[in-house]
Amino acid sequence: MSILLRRWHACLLLLVAATFAVGVQAATPEHIAAELPKARVAGSGTFRYFGLEIYDATLWVGPNGYRPAAPTAEKFALDLRYARAFLGKRIASRSTDEMEKLKLGSVAQRAEWNAKMTALFPDVVEGSHITGVYLPKEGARFYRDGKLLGDILDPEFGHAFFTIWLDPKTTGGPLREALLANAAPR
């Protein structure tokens, strides 16, 4: 076989391998699989602030999906992979600000939620993951890089927290659309 023909075959083999690699979905992270049996990615996108990448977000749902008309009906997980370092207290305060913009909870509730998030949320660096799991009628559970951080057991908090990303009035409209792209039940 000539050298040219061998090179052509090698290139073709690489092209075929690359095609299959692109089509394969990453495995479900262990902590998400434990929370959501049969989890699947509903959608993902990047949140930017003044052009700077802040985090990549991925919405994981179970077989019943996520229905915007019934946002508190099903368990789901939202994973954020941070593109830069942030203090945990800044993540908590920004979350509280977004809840206020969406008129979620009372002033007293937001203050309580901010205190709980500040106590729970760790500082993050580029590549850190924080995963929030919505617990219907209970609240929310949080993980950092697959390790349990803890729960905030308050149903109103759980709804308010995830509304930041999933409500039609969110300040991150394009990200919301990307997260919900394939969220319907299957």
Choose among 36, 55, 7: nearest CA to 133.
Answer: 36
The arithmetic mean of pLDDT across residues 51-78, rounded, is 95
% of the chain exceeding 90 in pLDDT: 78
User: How big is the chain by its Cα radius of gyration, in Å?
Assistant: 20
pLDDT digits (tens, 9 = 90+) for 129-164: 999 999 999 999 999 999 999 999 999 999 999 999
Residue-wise pLDDT for 65-80, tens only, equals: 999 989 889 999 999 9
Element (H, E) at 16: helix 3-23
Is residue 140 classed as helix, strand or coil in its secondary structure?
strand
**Domain boundaries defined on the chain:** 27-179
27-179: CATH number: 3.50.70.10
Model's pTM, two decimal places?
0.85
User: Rounded to an integer, what distance in angstroms lies between the CA atom of residue 92 and that of residue 96?
Assistant: 6
Mean of all residue pLDDT scores within the chain: 88
* CB of 175 closer than 8 Å to CB of 46: yes
pLDDT of residue 4 exceeding 90: no
Report the C-alpha dihedral over residues 39, 45, 49, 54, rounded to 10 degrees: 50
Q: List the single range of 10-14, 65-69, 168-172 with lowest mean pLDDT.
A: 10-14
Residue 153 φ then ψ, to 5°: -95, 90
Q: What is the DSSP letter of 86?
A: B
